[in-house]
């Protein structure tokens, strides 16, 4: 995550290069080198990168050739499973330089290939050619079915508490002591999270069991779980056939309810008290923390016996966000309001009592939002999740409250039954975002949710009959959504692989998925295909059509991370691509650096110690599939949150909505 401070590194899969001659990582392309110079010229490095999950029959289709030698005019062919040539063309203009080794990158477009089947691409002629990994062309529903199942599987394997789901990776429940967890004041910590002395207990215990581990560690945060739950609930509501009750293998309904159940325990509506976090990532010289040890989660309840240094591993602290009735950091207030308002939308008919509780929670939390905050509350330390924008969260929460309250007669005791109040609030905060300091500076992810909030508010204003007097119009929302996408298109133009987000920045994978969602939303709202070919390319970028030739989501594609900085995957998983793997886990992705550092008990991965991706690193961006490299290879809850939605949009461009 952006500037996440982790214990030490975490997070991969050795690249399976289908295009290299047996002796090493060099291929000579006879068609790309003048005949008279073949014997004297140095070997040519060349790779073809494709979307390893595949291409929709009617979608834009682009692969990339990256070489050390100028190759314009060379022939590339799309080859079917029976060896037939489905399409042939010549390599076009140079898209730019990736690195000193790969000085030339070329786009290989083959939109004309529509027929269902398995394919690969070859570039060159004669006995020495470059061959891509295999890929499929099919209907989006068939292409992304397994990927959506994997996305759900990731969260099921991240479950904490007694309601774990047995799997090849999970054999026991974990952190049962959280059911009677002591609450504490937030300590003063340094930038690494270390605190002096001991924690200050509040004398109140709560049930903090359940929820999902945050990442490769076992901590739990209201910050990230509130984002994930709202994304899941939106998935269930808007894409019921793909990610809701109509799906036989990727129904998020139970998982969204599981996450919401934990949030209900972190909010005490009677006392108006919010709890922020379970566990500590850093301690001090007399306190062992979560990030100091490498183990399976089920050992924590008895870890260290009676050793006082391990006391907060066995009995994990829960930190109170503020005194009862105090104002709530607006990023959390907005997202939690969205969580509970979406719960009401989903459950008001089938579970009216639960829905009524959710609606009251949503309204009470929204009413306590601190609209003049200093530094936002996120995690302890703040550097784990340094979120700055918050107006977007209030826009999202208010919009979902409008959709909830406007759905029909509200339950008795609802604090505010006026849906227009919430629509006006949503418009106010949308306007505040658009005129604020971070407008269009990001794309849909944990740190900026306008990529979904604007879409939701546009539809809500339409549903309300486009009332006058709001501080923002549908046109303004659409323009701001387009502004964010235009920024991504500009970025695409500066990258030879056309990615809409810089490769040398944290969270590349989830930003790619977020851009896919936003592009789909814009085209649905406008009834156009303005960004259709971009979302096809951006989803391809995170599924293998990138300089490293790896999918950045485990289990999706033929090459994906084996060596994630994730304790369960490292200690129980295969570490070589065979089963079991933590399928659906989206990793950080390429970054400006690859972190290093070992924790006792960590299993070396890759076993050979060879960085098979090093050859493909650019002048600024690197990717390493190594358990030590948390900066490129750690999965996390929020990183996977948009992937299911991105896949569902590829299948259905008309979401159900409230």
pLDDT tens by residue, 376-386: 999 999 999 99
The runs of H, that is alpha helices, within 348-466 are: 352-367, 391-405, 419-434, 450-463
Whether 125 has a pLDDT exceeding 90, the answer reads no
Torsion angle of the four alpha carbons 347, 349, 353, 357, in this order, in degrees rounded to the nearest 10? 40
> What is the spatial distance between Cα 209 and Cα 279, in angstroms, rounded to a whole number?
12
Strand 201-206 relative to strand 46-49, pairing: unpaired
Q: Which of 16-25, 73-82, 479-488, 533-542 has the lowest mean pLDDT?
A: 16-25
Residues 6+ apart with CB under 8 A from 203: 182
The per-residue b/e assignment along 288-300, b for 16 or more CB within 10 angstroms, e otherwise, is bbbbbbbbbbbeb
Cα angle 470, 475, 477; round to 5: 75
Beta bridge partners of 622: 591
Q: Kindly write down the DSSP assignment for every residue of 285-304, as one continuous string.
A: TTB--GGG----GGGGGGTT
Phi, psi of 465 (to 5 degrees): 85, 20
pTM, two decimals, is: 0.93
The pLDDT-based confidence of 80 (bands split at 50, 70, 90) is very high
Whether 233 has a pLDDT exceeding 90, the answer reads yes
Torsion angle of the four alpha carbons 646, 650, 651, 652, in this order, in degrees rounded to the nearest 10? 80
Classify 121 in phi/psi space as left (phi over 0), alpha (psi -120 to 50) or beta. beta
Whole-number pLDDT of residue 127: 53
> What is the spatial distance between Cα 193 and Cα 382, in angstroms, rounded to a whole number?
8
DSSP E strand boundaries for 195-297: 201-206, 220-221, 267-268, 273-278
Whole-number pLDDT of residue 654: 85
Q: Kindly write down the DSSP assignment for every residue of 507-526, as one continuous string.
A: THHHHHHHHHHHHHHHHHHH
Beta bridge partners of 122: 77, 131
E strand or H helix at 213, and its extent? Answer: none
pLDDT per residue as tens digits for the range 174-187 = 999 999 999 999 99
Residues counted in the chain: 658
The pLDDT-based confidence of 653 (bands split at 50, 70, 90) is confident
Beta bridge partners of 55: 137
Structural contact between residues 46 and 108, judged by C-beta atoms closer than 8 angstroms: no
What is the residue-averaged pLDDT of the chain? 93
Strand 130-131 relative to strand 117-123, pairing: antiparallel
Whether 27 has a pLDDT exceeding 70, the answer reads no
Whole-number pLDDT of residue 128: 62
The per-residue b/e assignment along 609-644, b for 16 or more CB within 10 angstroms, e otherwise, is eebbbebbbbeebbbbbbbbbbbbbbbbbbbbbbbb
**Three-state SS at 49:** strand
Structural contact between residues 280 and 310, judged by C-beta atoms closer than 8 angstroms: no
> What is the spatial distance between Cα 547 and Cα 124, in angstroms, rounded to a whole number?
20
Whole-number pLDDT of residue 28: 37
Whether 414 has a pLDDT exceeding 60, the answer reads yes
The Cβ of residue 508 has, within 10 Å, a number of other Cβ atoms equal to: 26
The per-residue b/e assignment along 367-402, b for 16 or more CB within 10 angstroms, e otherwise, is ebbbeeeeebbbbbbbbbbbbebbbbbbbbbbbbbb
pLDDT per residue as tens digits for the range 456-510 = 999 999 999 999 999 999 999 999 999 999 999 999 999 999 999 999 999 999 9
Whether 173 has a pLDDT exceeding 80, the answer reads yes
The per-residue b/e assignment along 316-338, b for 16 or more CB within 10 angstroms, e otherwise, is bbbbbbbeeeebbbbbbbbbbbb
Whole-number pLDDT of residue 42: 62
> What is the spatial distance between Cα 92 and Cα 71, in angstroms, rounded to a whole number?
8
> What is the spatial distance between Cα 352 and Cα 356, in angstroms, rounded to a whole number?
6
> What is the spatial distance between Cα 451 and Cα 392, in angstroms, rounded to a whole number?
9
94-96 β-sheet, strand order: 46-49, 62-67, 104-109, 94-96
Task: Give the Å distances, CA to CA, from 74 to 29, 31, 103, 159.
Answer: 10, 6, 16, 51
> What is the spatial distance between Cα 426 and Cα 615, in angstroms, rounded to a whole number?
48
pLDDT per residue as tens digits for the range 258-275 = 999 999 999 999 999 999
pLDDT per residue as tens digits for the range 82-107 = 999 999 999 999 999 999 999 999 99
Residues 6+ apart with CB under 8 A from 636: 1, 214, 215, 216, 224, 588
Q: Is the peptide bond before 493 cis (omega within 30 degrees of 0)?
A: no
Beta bridge partners of 297: none
* Of residues 621, 635, 622, the one with CA closest to residue 567: 635
Tokens 């970028």 map to which residue?
A: 541
The Cβ of residue 132 has, within 10 Å, a number of other Cβ atoms equal to: 27
**Three-state SS at 641:** coil
The pLDDT-based confidence of 372 (bands split at 50, 70, 90) is very high
pLDDT over 90, % of the chain: 91
Q: Please give the structure tokens belonging to residue 33.
A: 């080198």
E strand or H helix at 310, and its extent? Answer: none
E strand or H helix at 72, and its extent? Answer: none
pLDDT per residue as tens digits for the range 577-594 = 999 999 999 999 999 999
Phi, psi of 393 (to 5 degrees): -70, -40
3-state secondary structure 377-403: CCCCCHHHCCCCCCHHHHHHHHHHHHH
The pLDDT-based confidence of 18 (bands split at 50, 70, 90) is very low
Q: Please give the structure tokens belonging to residue 186.
A: 């937030």
Whole-number pLDDT of residue 6: 37
> What is the spatial distance between Cα 394 and Cα 398, in angstroms, rounded to a whole number?
6
The pLDDT-based confidence of 191 (bands split at 50, 70, 90) is confident
Residue 551 has what DSSP assignment? Answer: B
Residues 6+ apart with CB under 8 A from 493: none
Q: Please give the structure tokens belonging to residue 7.
A: 């214990």
> What is the spatial distance between Cα 42 and Cα 36, in angstroms, rounded to a whole number?
13
């Amino acid at each position: 995550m952006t500037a996440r401070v982790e214990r030490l590194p975490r997070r991969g899969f050795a690249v399976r290069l289908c295009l290299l001659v047996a002796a090493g990582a060099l291929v000579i392309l006879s068609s790309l080198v003048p005949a008279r110079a073949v014997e004297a010229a140095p070997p040519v490095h060349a790779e073809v990168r494709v979307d390893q999950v595949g291409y929709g029959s009617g979608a834009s289709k682009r692969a990339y050739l990256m070489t050390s030698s100028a190759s314009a005019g060379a022939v590339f062919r799309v080859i079917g499973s029976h060896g037939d040539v489905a399409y042939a063309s010549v390599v076009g203009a140079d898209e730019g330089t990736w690195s000193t080794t790969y000085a030339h990158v070329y786009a290989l477009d083959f939109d004309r290939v529509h027929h269902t089947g398995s394919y690969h691409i070859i570039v060159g002629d004669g006995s020495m050619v470059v061959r891509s990994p295999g890929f499929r062309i099919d209907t989006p529903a068939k292409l992304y079915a397994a990927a959506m199942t994997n996305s759900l599987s990731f969260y099921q394997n991240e479950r904490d508490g007694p309601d774990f789901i047995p799997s090849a990776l999970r054999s026991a429940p974990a952190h049962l002591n959280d059911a009677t967890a002591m609450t504490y004041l937030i300590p003063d910590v340094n930038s690494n999270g270390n605190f002096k002395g001991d924690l200050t207990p509040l004398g109140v215990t709560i049930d903090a069991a359940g929820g999902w581990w945050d990442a490769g560690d076992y901590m739990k945060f209201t910050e990230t779980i509130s984002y994930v739950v709202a994304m899941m609930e939106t998935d269930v509501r808007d894409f019921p056939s793909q990610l809701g009750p109509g799906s036989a293998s990727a129904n998020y309904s139970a998982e969204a309810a599981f996450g919401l159940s934990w949030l209900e325990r972190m909010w005490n509506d009677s006392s108006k008290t919010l709890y922020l976090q379970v566990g500590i990532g850093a301690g001090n010289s007399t306190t062992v923390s979560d990030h100091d040890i490498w183990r399976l989660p089920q050992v924590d309840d008895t870890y260290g016996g009676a050793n006082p240094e391990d006391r907060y591993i066995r009995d994990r602290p829960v930190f109170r966000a503020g005194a009862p009735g105090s104002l709530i950091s607006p990023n959390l207030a907005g997202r939690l309001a969205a969580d509970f308002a979406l719960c009401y939308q989903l459950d008001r008919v089938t579970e009216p009592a639960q829905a009524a509780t959710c609606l009251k929670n949503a309204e009470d939390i929204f009413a306590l939002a601190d609209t003049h905050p200093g530094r936002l509350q996120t995690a302890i330390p703040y550097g784990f999740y340094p979120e700055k924008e918050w107006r977007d969260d209030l826009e999202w929460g208010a919009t979902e409250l409008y959709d909830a309250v406007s759905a029909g007669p509200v339950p008795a005791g609802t604090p505010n039954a006026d849906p227009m109040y919430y629509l006006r609030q949503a418009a106010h905060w949308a306007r505040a975002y658009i005129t604020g300091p971070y407008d269009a500076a990001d794309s849909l992810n944990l740190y900026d949710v306008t990529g979904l909030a604007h879409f939701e508010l546009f539809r809500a204003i339409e549903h309300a009959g486009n009332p006058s007097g709001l501080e923002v119009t549908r046109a303004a929302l659409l323009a701001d959504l387009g502004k964010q996408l235009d920024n991504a298109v500009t970025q695409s133009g500066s990258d030879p692989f056309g990615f809409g987000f810089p490769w040398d920045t944290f969270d590349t994978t989830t930003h790619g998925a977020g851009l896919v969602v936003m592009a789909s939303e814009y085209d649905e709202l406008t009834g156009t295909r303005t960004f259709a070919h971009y979302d096809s390319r951006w989803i391809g970028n995170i599924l293998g059509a990138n300089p490293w030739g790896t999918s950045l989501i485990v289990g999706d594609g033929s090459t994906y991370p084996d060596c994630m900085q994730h304790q369960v995957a490292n200690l129980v998983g295969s570490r070589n691509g065979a089963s079991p793997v933590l399928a659906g886990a989206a990793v950080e992705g390429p970054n400006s650096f690859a972190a290093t550092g070992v924790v006792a008990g960590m299993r070396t991965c890759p076993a050979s110690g060879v960085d098979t991706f090093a050859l493909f690193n650019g002048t600024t961006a690197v990717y390493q599939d190594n358990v030590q490299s948390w900066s490129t290879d750690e999965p996390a809850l929020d990183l996977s949150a948009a992937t299911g939605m991105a896949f569902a949009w590829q299948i259905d461009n008309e979401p159900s909505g409230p």
